[in-house]
Amino acid sequence: MSTQTSAQSPPVRPGTASDPRRVEMFSDGVFAIAATLLVLDIEVPDARDGASLWSALAGLWPSYAAHVVTFLVIGIIWANHHTVFGYIARVDRLLICLNLLLLLVVSALPWPTALVAEHLGGGGADAHAAAAVFSGFMMAQAVVFMLFWLYVTRTGHLFHAHVDNAHARAMRLKFGLGLAVYPLAVALAFVSAPATLALHGLLAVYYAANPIWIPSIDEA
């Protein structure tokens, strides 16, 4: 375990391929763009059909709700990603691949969000289908983040020397428990689409209040 080595021992040359800085930059780009592209999914009503613009805007509530929930989810994933990379001293090829897989899911989130925005208001089978697809994507990002976390905590070989890998491994259970909620969210989609969206909003708030955190060896 690298947690025994001193802070100076892993000689990562700054700017080389094992420097985590550029992986963070690319990831931050994808997180920021995915979060900002969400706005394109909100329809701009032209309201030329006699109804007032206010009523047209009111009818777009599923778009607003889906937008806020997905923005929060992306924000929380980003914050956790940011925290984990704060513990990482170097990256290897497998970490880069797991990170790309995570970014693949995150960058796709505007699509299920648009699907929910389009179908939530209509209700019926299509609203349930859209909510189920949305829940599936949320579960996918949680599973991929878990894989990412399992990999970096397996031996802690990529961590800074001051990171306590024993504590990092202990956080696995906490994360694993969170995963159990997602199949329920998929099931809930077939009962109530709005409740499903609300559940994902609550999950985001829960994760915001319960961040990943690992004590340093010198703090523990």
Site for a copy of itself in 48-107 (CB under 8 A): 52-54, 57, 67-68, 71-72, 75, 78-79, 82-83, 85-87, 93, 96-97, 100, 103-104, 107
**In the complex, minimum distance from the CB of residue 114 to a copy of itself, in angstroms, rounded to a whole number:** 4
CB < 8 Å & 24+ apart, contacts of 102-105: 102/77, 102/141, 102/144, 102/145, 102/148, 103/26, 103/27, 103/30, 105/137, 105/140, 105/141, 105/144
Structure tokens at 47: 């309201």
**Binder to a copy of itself among 13, 49, 50, 180 (CB under 8 A)?**
13
Site string for a copy of itself, 30-49 (x = CB under 8 A): xxxxxxxxxxxxx-x-xx--
Greatest alpha-carbon span in the chain:
72
Distances (CA, A) of 91 to 6, 8, 87, 98: 18, 17, 11, 11
Closest CA to 190 of 110, 139, 141, 136: 136
**Binder to a copy of itself among 5, 26, 198, 201 (CB under 8 A)?**
26
- For a copy of itself, the binding residues in 178-197 under the rule CB under 8 A are none
Segment interacting with a copy of itself (CB under 8 A) among 10-18, 148-156, 168-176, 193-201? 10-18
Q: In this complex, which beta carbon is closest to a copy of itself, that of residue 10 or of residue 75?
A: 75
29 is a site residue for a copy of itself (CB under 8 A): yes
Closest CA to 74 of 27, 20, 129: 27
- For a copy of itself, the binding residues in 110-139 under the rule CB under 8 A are 110-111, 114-115, 118-119, 125-126, 129-130, 133
**Binder to a copy of itself among 24, 146, 167, 192 (CB under 8 A)?**
24
Q: In this complex, which beta carbon is closest to a copy of itself, that of residue 180 or of residue 219?
A: 219
- Total residues in contact with a copy of itself, by rule CB under 8 A: 71
- For a copy of itself, the binding residues in 148-167 under the rule CB under 8 A are 160, 162
Q: In this complex, which beta carbon is closest to a copy of itself, that of residue 20 or of residue 156?
A: 20
CB < 8 Å & 24+ apart, contacts of 27-35: 27/81, 27/85, 27/99, 27/103, 28/78, 30/103, 30/106, 30/107, 31/74, 31/77, 31/78, 31/81, 31/106, 33/107, 34/74, 34/106, 34/107, 34/109, 34/110, 35/71, 35/74, 35/75, 35/78
Q: In this complex, which beta carbon is closest to a copy of itself, that of residue 52 or of residue 180?
A: 52
**In the complex, minimum distance from the CB of residue 179 to a copy of itself, in angstroms, rounded to a whole number:** 22
